[in-house]
Amino acid sequence: MLKTLENFLEWGGVKKDVTCLILSGIALLASLLDVELFHINPAWIAIILCGVPIILEAVIGLVTRFDIKADVLVSLALIASIIIGEIFAAGEVAFIMQLGALLEDLTVALRVLPGETIPVDGIILSGQTSVDQAVMTGESIPVDKGAGDSVSSGTVNQFGSFDMRATKVGDDSSIQRMIRLVQSVDAGKAKIVGIADRWATWIVVIALSAAGLTWLISGEIIRAVTILVVFCPCALVLATPTAIMAAIGNATKHGFLVREGDALERLASVTKITFDKTGTLTYGTPRVTAVKSFSKEWTDEELFRLTACAEQRSEHPLGKAIVESYKNQYSDELPALARFQMIPGQGVSAEAGEYEILAGNPELLQADQITLPEDMRAAAAAYLENGSTVTYVAVSKTAVGFIALSDTLRQDAPDTAERIRDTGAAPVLLTGDNEKAAGYMAGQLGIREIHANCLPEDKLRYIEEFQNSGEMVCMIGDGINDAPALKKACVGIAMGGIGSDIAVDAADIALINDKISELPHLLLLAKRMMLTIKCNLTFSMTLNFIAIVLAITGVLNPVVGALVHNAGSVIVIVNSAFLLGWKKKDHN
């Protein structure tokens, strides 16, 4: 039976609501003009079309969820109005409440432009488009969509713009279920949502008590009816989830997939941001950073070309990095090799034209009785201290120079670290590199707190120590070795592009495009979300208490009370909706 009622309420959507409102409006106008239909007040049409759905929602909520926070008070007010013979007032209140509900739905609608990531699961209200669903279904061809079609979060709008209504966010959305982030110990509703729900429950108790006392003292049941209408805590209940939904939508557009609003709530209080280095602050792949020739016969460029030639058949990551770096810098073709030999643990031996080339570590050269000059060793030591890897090169039994490779900083890493400090959080480096290499990297980023030589358990220990001392810690990493720390931190953010599946599963938030430059935006967005929620809560509570005082004194009647009630809900939704496109203005 309840399922049948729910299906009836969902039937038709916006078109059904608009039709019912038009018919109800005509009926109320007829009632106002004292027109009767078969000796029946036409306002009954508004009560049936607009009031009955409200009462049914209240019944379903009470029976299935014991929800007494929203439609119950309005239902009591409608029934009381009918009992005392205020048929027109009952019909008008029902009409205004349903009109307000429709406005709320339309206010929550999102507009998605071409090229934007769809922020939440939803239904297209208007517009034609094509959506790239590869992230969800693997389809390589965009799928045409129109009004009434469903769209999923994380997919990309290709061509047309459209308006949509959100149906699922956070845990329920398709992309969140797909990546299956691990459930954390304190998962569930955001704490502030629970607070708002508890307040709403108490407001219902207060409203019923106030209505009863007002009726007993004043003898005017119309005042009690008005109290029930204005004190329905819809604005309070909407204050938090609408802001969280909008913030999650904003974060999605900036490349973040957020499991639930609780993660953003915790992120707003973070005081330390701990970074893994490799793959997070760096690109995670070695690149040639220096080519040094110590022979008058070979220039740096010629040495680079000769080494790339020798390494072109290599399967080793360093050999591949040398070849790729050369090809990225120069356009000429590398000559074919007459001979190639991979020497595990040491390097490569190759023959190109008249030259015999050795490229590898000192042991490779020593095995062929080749001595490294002291000036070459000294120059290489400077790169080794900064965390670089050095490949020594010998040509025709003579050491001629070396190539230094390192995992280079992401281009936007220094600016990101500075902007994170501007948000009030302190960046911290947790890395497995030695102290000198870690210090060099941290110096480029302006990070003052460094913890080097970290094993996975060390990262976990440092985060635990920070949190035990009262710090709120956000961990950002990408590898399997970061997973325990991501799980332990108040908020874990995993690099979704290059990150391991285990790291992503352990995190609260995934950065899909690996653009760490968006991290400061996420931190500021979380703070803005909390400010919006607090403003919404303050506004809705203030509005409720002012309205009840006016209702008790008889200043408000049920019709005006319904208008005030719905205006509060719409204002809260509009204020939350500003978060969808929010971005901190750059005053520079």
Residues forming the active site: 276
Q: Is 57 in contact with 9 (CB distance < 8 Å)?
A: yes
For 541, list phi and psi in degrees, rounded to 5: -65, -45
Beta strands in 133-278 (DSSP E): 143-145, 150-151, 156-157, 162-168, 256-258, 272-275
The pairing of strands 162-168 and 426-430 is unpaired
Q: What is the dihedral of CA 49, 53, 54, 58, to 10 degrees?
A: 160
Tokens standing for residue 497 = 């592009």
DSSP string across 434-488: -HHHHHHHHHHHT--EEE-S--HHHHHHHHHHHHHTT--EEEEE-SGGGHHHHHH
Q: Is 561 in contact with 230 (CB distance < 8 Å)?
A: yes
Burial of 84 (0-12, 13-18, 19+ CB in 10 A): middle
Residue 491 is classified by DSSP as: E
SS3 state at 86: coil
Strand partners, 394: 358, 399
C-beta atoms surrounding 469 within 10 Å: 7
DSSP string across 327-370: HHH--SPPPPPSEEEEETTTEEEEEETTEEEEEE-HHHHHHTT-
For 264, list phi and psi in degrees, rounded to 5: -70, -35
Q: Is 373 in contact with 393 (CB distance < 8 Å)?
A: no
DSSP string across 255-320: TEEES-HHHHHHHTT--EEEE--TTTTEEEEEEEEEEEE--TT--HHHHHHHHHHHHTT--SHHHH
For 258, list phi and psi in degrees, rounded to 5: -100, 130
Q: Is 107 in contact with 574 (CB distance < 8 Å)?
A: yes
CA 480 to chain CA centroid, Å, is 22
What is the distance between the alpha carbons of residues 235 and 89, in angstroms, rounded to a whole number? 22
For 59, list phi and psi in degrees, rounded to 5: -65, -45
Q: Is 117 in contact with 154 (CB distance < 8 Å)?
A: yes
Half-sphere exposure for 54 (CA within 13 Å, toward CB): 32
Q: Name the strand (E) or helix (H) holding 492.
A: strand 491-495
The sheet with strand 110-112 has its strands ordered as 110-112, 162-168, 121-126, 150-151
